[in-house]
Chain A
Amino acid sequence: MLIKTGIDRLDELLKGGIPFRSNVLIYANPFIGKDILMKRIASAGLENNEGIIFVLTDRSFGEMREEMMTVVPNFKEYENKGLIRYIDVYSPTVELKEESKWVTYVESPVNRERIAYSIMQAHKEMEQEKHRLIFDSISTLIVYSDAKAVFRFLQVLSGTCKRMNTTSFFSMTRGMHEEIEVQTIKHLMDGVIELREHEARYQLRVQGCGEALSRHWIDYLLEENEIRLTGAFRMGRVA
């Protein structure tokens, strides 16, 4: 079974989407579309009546909600229907705490154990059959600890997510980590979607993630809340 990423041509590239219950690393430089991709993935999940769990280390759940509303205008309706849960690991560190019944605060990105617990609790509370986990970002976790510790955390978490019918997306910032750390984390993933800026062009590449029409770097354009794949990847089409 495949689930849609919410970006049509990316789904096409993936021959229909990402395998259900897999875990995917979204590895990208800052500000070149990672956030848009994550928002699109969340939005496609909502359209498919999947529960969405956000784990946020770099922004508050309020900010995430605002962001989502730019893509999904009726986002609050989904929230009120109980399709959204936030695990906010950011707000307590800046002593900002807004009340909402959809949010769980974890005091610090150091406390991986409580993050794992909160994700499991969120799963238990939600009624949807399928879920998506949007974890933004594991870079912050690594910065506060080390890649090996985060690796062990993800090992436990990815097992749990699979058991709970969840497709998980983890973001990691390119340029923040040593190559060995990146490789360590990639090892755990079923797939990687990489975004880069190369010779003044934005490019995307898919590794793993089930089947794909192309494994090469593909150009894309960044528009407001849109990632538009412009590069060719169809067999028989001239690049």
Chain B
Amino acid sequence: MITTGIKKFDELLGGGIPNGKSILFQIEPGMEESDVAFPIMKENVGKVNTIYVSSVSSPKNVYRKMEEFDMKPDEKNFAIIDGYSPLIGAPSEEKYVVEEPHDIGSYEDTIFRALEDLGENTLLVFDSLSNIMDLCNERIALEGIERINNEINKIGAYAISNFIAWPYKEAILYRIKRIFNAIIDVRNERSLSLMEIKKADWEAKTAKFYFKIFKPEGLRIYIPKIIVAGPFRSGKTTFIKSISKKFFPVERLGATTGVEYGVVDYNGYRADVFGIPGREGFAPLLDKFAGSSMGAIIVVDSSSEESIASAKNFIEKFKDIPNVVVANKQDALNAKSVEEIKRMLYPYENVIGASAIRGEGTKEAFEFLAEKIVEELNAH
């Protein structure tokens, strides 16, 4: 089995991509994030060998992209099947060149030769299937792809195909869906990039999530807006600092005087987090953010009954989006326990204890909310 490197994504896939499986990424034309195979290649460097079938990019360009993801190809574990150079009549320095790029048989021969050299423990990446279909006659190309997928299945290797979803005929699309073990849709939704597991013939879940690709890090489940709110002096700033890899403070004399911003990168999630100051004057801003956020983190001071009680107002305000109460300052001597706070906020359940100043429990609270946001997206 190989993994995507994203904990939640692997979980949805039932642990990862099992041996012998072929995955089709069906990508909307003109997407910003279309290099979905690279992050998966990156995650599995050293675990499997990779064969990259390129029909739209020169080998030079493929190597350049790999570099952007901090991958260092080595001929013992990486090979390009160059279907591009012959197409434009350029010379190729690659070991595996598709002599007849208009003939799927020529692709097959070259791929099988590379598979023999690199062995069974290999990830085969097609970039792109749609282009190969355009060049080699759709139906005949698909017969070849089916033979390749069958071989992958037989030897227990892995295959990923990028397929740009141009308006092909229904019959062709139907045919494609049948020759792959899993289909993952990649499209724009609400101006964000979305990935949806449409079908898989193993124990995987059909589910969707927003994502972004970062270089060199790779793929992340993306949450564009999480709001952090709570009463005055509950430790929101410290909380955001403790979960963020980048933080932009707005502070004066220890009190926050404007909207703070942090970038969180944790366990495969990437989120932009906005902190709203607790003072009265910021209430209108709070309402504005509540309407556009995907989730809310309510930070309270566990050592102050007043602070805890005020959480109720925030819970009410954020009742339409996934939310969590962070019982902060658990390190304080007179801090109420999570159980006590749950009792005070009954019937509200999502309380997580934390000490932002010690960096304890904060990331767990973030992940708890992030999971809820993905669940919420799949509930509708």
Interface set of A (CB-CB < 8 Å, partner B): 93, 107-108, 110-114, 116-117, 119-121, 144-146, 148-149, 152-153, 155-156, 160
Residue of B nearest to A150 (CB): B134
B14 part of interface (Cβ distance < 8 Å)? no
Residue of B nearest to A117 (CB): B30
Q: CB-CB contacts of B210-229 with A at 8 A, as 1s and 0s?
A: 00000000000000000000
Q: How far is the CA of A145 from the CA of B134 in the complex (A)?
A: 7
Given contacts A153-B166, A156-B166, contact A107 B57 (CB under 8 A): yes
Interface size on B, residues (CB 8 A): 22
Chain A contacts for B259, CB-based, 8 A: none
A110, B29: Cβ atoms under 8 Å? no
Chain B contacts for A148, CB-based, 8 A: 134
- Can you add 8 more A-B contacts, CB < 8 Å, to A107-B61, A117-B32, A156-B166? A108-B84, A110-B87, A110-B88, A110-B131, A117-B34, A148-B134, A155-B166, A160-B30
Closest Cβ of chain A: how far from B163's Cβ, in Å? 10
Q: CB-CB contacts of B1-43 with A at 8 A, as 1s and 0s?
A: 0000000000000000000000000010111101000000000
B61, A156: Cβ atoms under 8 Å? no
Q: How far is the CA of A156 from the CA of B187 in the complex (A)?
A: 14
Chain B contacts for A108, CB-based, 8 A: 56-58, 84, 88
Q: How far is the CA of A145 from the CA of B101 in the complex (A)?
A: 11
Q: CB-CB contacts of B62-102 with A at 8 A, as 1s and 0s?
A: 00000000000000000000001001100000000000000
Chain A contacts for B32, CB-based, 8 A: 117, 121
Q: How far is the CA of A121 from the CA of B191 in the complex (A)?
A: 12
B164 part of interface (Cβ distance < 8 Å)? yes
A and B contact pairs by CB, cutoff 8 A, 16 listed = A107-B61, A110-B131, A113-B27, A113-B30, A113-B56, A114-B56, A116-B29, A117-B34, A144-B87, A144-B88, A145-B131, A145-B135, A148-B134, A152-B166, A155-B166, A156-B167
The 8 closest A-B pairs by CB, nearest first: A149-B134, A152-B166, A116-B30, A117-B30, A111-B56, A113-B164, A120-B30, A156-B29
B128 part of interface (Cβ distance < 8 Å)? yes
Chain A contacts for B29, CB-based, 8 A: 112-113, 116-117, 153, 156
Those of B80-131 within 8 Å (CB) of chain A: 84, 87-88, 128, 131
B166, A146: Cβ atoms under 8 Å? no
Most buried by B among A113, A144, A156: A113
Closest Cβ of chain B: how far from A53's Cβ, in Å? 14
Q: How far is the CA of A11 from the CA of B58 in the complex (A)?
A: 44
Q: How far is the CA of A117 from the CA of B29 in the complex (A)?
A: 7
B149 part of interface (Cβ distance < 8 Å)? no
Given contacts A110-B55, A152-B168, A155-B167, contact A146 B30 (CB under 8 A): no
Q: How far is the CA of A90 from the CA of B131 in the complex (A)?
A: 19
Q: How far is the CA of A116 from the CA of B34 in the complex (A)?
A: 12
- Cross-interface CB contact of B58 among A107, A119, A146, cutoff 8 Å: A107
B34, A113: Cβ atoms under 8 Å? yes
Closest Cβ of chain B: how far from A177's Cβ, in Å? 16
Residue of B nearest to A121 (CB): B32
Residue of A nearest to B64 (CB): A107
Q: How far is the CA of A146 from the CA of B132 in the complex (A)?
A: 11
Q: How far is the CA of A160 from the CA of B167 in the complex (A)?
A: 13
Q: How far is the CA of A108 from the CA of B164 in the complex (A)?
A: 16
Q: How far is the CA of A120 from the CA of B31 in the complex (A)?
A: 9
Most buried by A among B61, B131, B166: B166
Closest Cβ of chain A: how far from B4's Cβ, in Å? 22
Those of B132-153 within 8 Å (CB) of chain A: 134-135
Chain B contacts for A152, CB-based, 8 A: 166-168
Given contacts A110-B55, A110-B131, contact A149 B166 (CB under 8 A): yes
Closest Cβ of chain A: how far from B376's Cβ, in Å? 28
Q: How far is the CA of A119 from the CA of B57 in the complex (A)?
A: 19
Q: How far is the CA of A156 from the CA of B130 in the complex (A)?
A: 15
Chain A contacts for B87, CB-based, 8 A: 110, 144
B57, A111: Cβ atoms under 8 Å? yes
Chain A contacts for B131, CB-based, 8 A: 110, 145, 149
Residue of B nearest to A145 (CB): B134
A117, B31: Cβ atoms under 8 Å? yes
Chain A contacts for B134, CB-based, 8 A: 145-146, 148-149
Q: How far is the CA of A155 from the CA of B29 in the complex (A)?
A: 11
Those of B197-253 within 8 Å (CB) of chain A: none
Q: How far is the CA of A117 from the CA of B164 in the complex (A)?
A: 12
Residue of B nearest to A118 (CB): B30
Chain B contacts for A119, CB-based, 8 A: 30
Residue of A nearest to B87 (CB): A110
